[in-house]
Amino acid sequence: MRLSPRVRRELNEIIGFFCERTDGSPIALLRILYGALAVWTSLFLLPNYERYYTESGRLPWDKVKHFPEHIYSILQFAPQSSAFVYAVVWTAIIASFCLLLGVMSRLAAFVLFAIQVALQHRNPFILNSGDHLYLIIAFLLSLTPSDRKWSLRSYFAHRRGKGESSPIFAWSTRLIGLQICYVYLYAFAAKINSKPWINGTAMYDVFASPSLARWPAELDYPVLLALITWGTLVFELFFPLFVWQKEYRRYAIPAGILFHLGIEVTMVLPMFSALMMISYASFLDDEEARAILSFPRRFIDRLRGKTSPSPAEVEAHVSPSD
Amino acid sequence: MGEIDSEEPPVSEAGEEEQGAPDYIGAFLALSRRAKIRVLIPVSFVLWHVAVVLLWGAGERVREVVRPVVGFYAGGLKLAGTWGMFSSPSRMHVTFVYGVKEDGQRIMISPDPESTLYQSLVDMRERKMRTRLDDEGQRNAWGNRYLDSFCQRPDGSWFQRVELESAEHDEQRRWGTRKVVLSRPCFFAHKKAQEAKQKEQSP
């Protein structure tokens, strides 16, 4: 089969998008941020596991076992056992710490994914979009060696005298980035056909909704509400288009962080905003990720009065033990 | 994950196009058969994943058509989803759980009006579950067992019954009258707890 030069060039561009080589810094940053969120989330399972996932809790097993998807939950093997759920929760906590510190990170991410599948099918009535995305990112993280940099693994490898690791391909990082863009575009497409979003009143209902708003309030500022409503649409449409280009990314990502901080403060959506902000690490290139990862060290050096290396110097001297 | 691995470069940049851009297709064709298989596994996974994500999000009708093939991946493993957050009209219901003592006194249990900051963080998902019970079908399916879980008080005593109360925002944007939509005597939960205790104590 012969491809025309144009088709071949375009195919090469698509493949190049997924096969771009990276030193692993962006995925390491994502792993650390996601790992921190996973630790927080897993620790909060301890005070909650009994009421949400056991027989003595809010939802007994016989109320969910008729869902066909229950076969994907490992909790089906001992649905009456609180001790089994407790063991699963502790496994999640250990896996979260492993991911944060970069110890067997692929296995840790896969374990987190499997546990999330189990818990989410065991009690589907407490979930929001953030939980779903959390599970997807865990799976995609399990496909990539995210502990090549800034991890205990790389630290010990460096101490053993193993040299710089070879670059990796960015395809699973790209899948995470594409997933985030898809979430925004899907949300935009779902809203654009809705009358309240077009006439600028949708945010009135959102802010007044007792099931969504942290402090439900009926705001009577039509201009402000319209600006927030349309601003949300504009953001959801343009963020996925601009975030891939470096010159626009420096504006797109801060805009996204402000957008999600606003949601986090005003809405009750556990995990969703934090996860979206964390996922922005997948859009960064090596240089940007390294600058963020080395920021704490540079900040401490500055406090101590030492001359801190510039991001360019950091780039030139990154060792696996970082 | 076996061969599905981004650790190893799937293609070399042996082939270069005239403009100097890497020719991945040329490089792939130059690979040995075994190396080609190593490349094709992650490529197939990426194509599969992207296709499932797009098909699953393409609407209920498409979803029903593709469910037999991709359902295990999208619905079972939950690796694809729909993301229409805030697009449908917001639920303008609010639900509360009350416990009724022997003397008839009603105490709000959920949300707990006296909860600390830590407790409110722990309870963050409670509202989602309560709100689901606005729906009559859900109430019929698991509402009673849900209310049973509130029957015993933290001090070990028991309520006489537990009630789910709902208030709806009317079209004039006012909170309508609150009404009890589900009431559950605590007799059943109490009896079940006693049986479980006896079972635990018996050799």
Please, which pLDDT band fits residue A319 given cuts at 50, 70 and 90? very low
Residue to test with chain B: of A4, A121, A143, most B Cβ within 10 A: A143
Residue A63 has pLDDT above 70, yes or no: yes
Residue A252: pLDDT over 90: yes
Q: What is the pLDDT of residues B17-42, one digit of tens each?
A: 455 678 888 888 899 999 999 999 99
User: Cβ of B21 and A16 within 8 Å?
Assistant: yes
- pLDDT confidence band for B2 (50 / 70 / 90): very low
Q: With a cut of 90, say whether residue A219 has pLDDT above it.
A: no
ipTM of the complex, rounded to two decimals: 0.89
Picking from A208, A269, A214, the residue whose alpha carbon sits closest to that of residue B169 is A208
For residue B5, which residues of chain A lie inside 8 Å, CB to CB? 143, 145
Report pLDDT digits (tens) over A253-286.
999 999 999 999 998 888 899 999 999 999 999 9
Confidence of residue B178 (pLDDT cuts 50, 70, 90): confident
Residue A313 confidence (pLDDT): 57
Contacts of A265 (CB under 8 A, 6+ apart): A214
Structure tokens at B71: 């359902």
- Determine whether the interchain pair B9/A120 forms a contact, defined as Cβ–Cβ distance below 8 Å: no
CA distance A250 to chain B (A): 25
> In this predicted structure, what is the pLDDT of residue B3?
37
What pLDDT score was predicted for residue B174? 61
Q: Do B10 and A19 make contact, defined as CB atoms within 8 angstroms?
A: yes
- Residue-wise DSSP of B85-133: TTTSPPP-EEEEEEEE-TTS-EEEEES-TT--HHHHHHGGGHHHHHHHT
From A209's Cα to the closest Cα of chain B, the distance in A is 5
pLDDT at residue A2, rounded to an integer: 75
* B42, closest residue in chain A (CA to CA): A171
Q: What is the pLDDT of residues A119-138, one digit of tens each?
A: 999 999 999 999 999 999 99
Q: With an 8 Å Cβ cutoff, are A166 and B9 in contact?
A: yes
Joined tokens for residue B139 = 């109430």
Q: What is the rounded average pLDDT for all residues in chain A?
A: 90
What pLDDT shows up at residue B13?
45
| Segment of A51-60, A93-102, B184-193 carrying the highest mean pLDDT | A93-102
Give the one of A58, A194, A211 whose C-beta lies nearest to B93's C-beta.
A211
Give B85→chain A minimum CA distance, Å: 6
Partner-chain contact A58 B10, CB within 8 Å = no
For A207-231, what is the mean pLDDT?
Answer: 87
- Please name the helix (run of DSSP H) or strand (run of DSSP E) that holds residue B28, with its range, or none: helix B24-29
Cα-Cα-Cα-Cα dihedral of A215, A217, A222, A226, to 10°?
30
Percent of chain B with pLDDT over 90: 53
Helix (H, G, I), strand (E, B) or coil at A74: helix
Question: What is the rounded average pLDDT of the residues A298-317?
Answer: 69
**Minimal CA separation from B168 to chain A, in Å:** 10
Q: Identify the residue among A14, A23, A58, A66 best suited for mutation to test binding to B, counting B beta carbons within 10 A and taking the highest.
A: A58
Among the partner-chain residues A128, A170, A182, the one whose CB lies closest to the CB of B53 is A182
Q: One-letter amino acid identity for A183?
A: V
Does the structure show a pLDDT above 80 at B8? no
Choose the closest CB to A11 out of B25, B80, B149.
Answer: B25
The set of residues, in sequence order, having a beta carbon less than 8 Å from that of B99 and lying 6+ positions away, is B106, B107, B109, B150, B151, B153, B159, B161, B162, B163
Q: Give the residue from chain B lying closest to A193, CA to CA.
A: B87
Whether the CB-CB separation of A145 and A106 falls below 8 Å is answered with yes
Give the pLDDT confidence score for residue B193 in this predicted structure: 86
User: Is the pLDDT reported for residue B175 higher than 80?
Assistant: no
Q: Average pLDDT in the A315-319 region?
A: 49
Question: pLDDT band for position B171 (50/70/90)?
Answer: low
A275 Cβ partners below 8 Å, 6+ apart? Answer: A34, A37, A130, A133, A134, A137
CB contact under 8 A, A132 and B91: no
Residue pLDDT, tens place only, A2-45: 778 888 889 999 999 998 999 999 999 999 999 999 999 999 99
Predicted pLDDT of residue B88: 74
Chain B residue closest to A217 (CA)?
Answer: B173
Q: In terms of Cα–Cα distance, which of A138, A127, A172 is closest to A269?
A: A127
Q: Does B93 contact A106 at a Cβ distance shorter than 8 Å?
A: no
**C-alpha–C-alpha distance, residues B110 and B95, integer Å:** 9
